């Protein structure tokens, strides 16, 4: 395995670069037409030159995602099959298209994507396909028939927490929603999943929607503003950055309300620490280790093994009553750690999630 984090020119442009809640991994079937699209690339012999095109790197999930991809590429059999390069561009469609075009020119065998748009990259993905390059999108996936996708089902990521929240509020209450990155497929999917539940309950009122970008400091600032504007908040639906939500309630000296959050170690610790103060919550998350699964799909495609068009990663769920020290809450590990680092097919440690 050869892992490189690059910062510099890559044929045609400059790309700025950086270097345990578990279920079985399932895969959906694919239509014959779609299978023909994604499997038509020429079979290659390794080692394979595989590049990750990532954009947003300002939260712990993305950091762990890259660390676990590097770790996965260092494990057998991938350590003999994969030469991995990681590129972080700006968080815009045009920046990511430029990155992918440069990777095409550089002769990559496969490109992994955490996509800025489900549709706007389809043209450059088709270009990669014409060059015999395998494309695998994960986390933020794409609609191109020439790409494989690896992800959780984003709708349930939103609806599971929404159903729990409605049950806690007995169908009546005022909710603030903390969303992710505006316009991203992940945020849209989770939001639509949540709203499919909330719309069934006329007693549920959405007071505000903020965009915390899955970042604790951004979330805390926006949530403090929202709490100041709304004195009667009964519940919180949050895609992540849950510590920012909890800190906002603490700083505002407000009583805790039922809160949906992500899978950060701090949120798990918060659920334990503040249980005596009335905090109830549910943790809903997707593993950053899905990047390694995307790499595995890419290698299978390059080897002519015809992986499914969509590989499904299970949603990780734990209510406050299911949070246990040493199981899914770790007092001796960094609070920012995403605790659901494991994925089927790989064995990762907390230190690998933190440092690669």
Domain ranges of the chain: 2-152+287-314+341-355, 154-285
Common-topology check for domains 2-152+287-314+341-355 and 154-285:
yes
Rounded CA-CA distance 356/354 in Å is 6
Residue written as token pair 């539940």: 197
Q: Does domain 154-285 fall into CATH 3.90.1640.30?
A: no
Please report, in tens digits, the pLDDT of each residue of the chain (356 residues total): 555 554 333 323 323 332 334 333 333 333 333 444 554 445 677 899 999 999 988 788 999 999 999 999 999 999 999 999 999 998 899 999 999 999 999 999 999 999 999 999 999 999 999 999 999 999 999 999 999 999 999 999 999 999 999 999 999 999 999 999 998 888 999 999 999 999 999 999 999 999 999 999 999 999 999 999 999 999 999 998 999 999 999 999 999 999 999 999 999 999 999 999 999 999 999 999 999 999 999 999 999 999 999 999 989 999 999 999 999 999 999 998 999 999 999 999 999 999 98
Q: Which CATH superfamily, name and number, covers 2-152+287-314+341-355?
A: Response regulator (3.40.50.2300)
Q: Which residue has the tokens 């690059």?
A: 6
Q: How far apart (Å, rounded) are the C-alpha atoms in residues 172 and 202?
A: 8
pTM for the full predicted model: 0.81
Cα 149 to Cα 38, 54, 105, 140, 143, distances in angstroms: 10, 15, 23, 9, 9
Single out the residue of 297, 303, 192, 283 nearest to residue 236, CA to CA: 283
């Amino acid at each position: 395995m050869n892992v490189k984090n690059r910062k510099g020119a890559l044929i045609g442009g400059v790309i700025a670069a950086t270097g345990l809640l578990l279920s079985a991994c399932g895969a959906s079937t694919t239509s014959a037409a779609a299978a023909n699209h994604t499997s038509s690339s020429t079979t290659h012999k390794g080692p394979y030159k595989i590049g990750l095109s990532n954009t947003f790197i300002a939260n712990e999930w993305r950091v762990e995602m890259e660390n676990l991809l590097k770790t996965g590429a260092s494990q057998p059999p991938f350590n003999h099959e994969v030469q991995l390069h990681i590129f972080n561009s700006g968080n815009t469609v045009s920046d990511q298209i430029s990155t992918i075009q440069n990777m095409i020119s550089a002769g990559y065998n496969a490109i992994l994507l955490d996509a800025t748009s489900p549709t706007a990259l389809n043209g450059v993905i088709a270009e990669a396909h014409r060059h015999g390059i395998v494309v695998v999108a994960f986390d933020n996936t794409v609609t191109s028939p020439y790409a494989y996708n690896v992800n959780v089902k984003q709708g349930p990521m939103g609806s599971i927490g929404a159903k729990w929240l409605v049950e806690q509020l007995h169908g009546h209450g005022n909710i603030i929603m903390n969303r992710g990155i505006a316009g991203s497929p992940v945020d849209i999917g989770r939001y639509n999943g949540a709203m499919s539940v909330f719309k069934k309950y006329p007693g549920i009122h959405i007071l505000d929607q903020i965009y915390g970008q899955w970042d604790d400091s951004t979330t805390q600032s926006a949530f403090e503003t929202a709490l100041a504007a709304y004195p009667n908040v009964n519940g919180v639906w949050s895609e992540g950055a849950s510590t920012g939500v909890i800190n906002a309630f603490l700083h505002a000296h407000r009583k805790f309300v039922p809160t949906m959050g992500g899978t950060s170690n701090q949120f798990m610790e918060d659920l334990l620490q503040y249980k005596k103060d009335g905090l109830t919550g549910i943790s809903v998350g997707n593993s950053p280790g899905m990047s390694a699964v995307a790499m595995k799909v890419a290698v299978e495609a390059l080897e002519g093994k015809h992986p499914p068009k969509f590989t499904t990663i299970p949603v990780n769920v734990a209510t406050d009553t299911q949070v246990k020290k040493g199981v899914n809450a770790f007092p001796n590990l960094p609070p920012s750690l995403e605790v659901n680092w494991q994925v089927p097919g790989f064995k990762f440690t907390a230190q690998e999630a933190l440092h690669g």
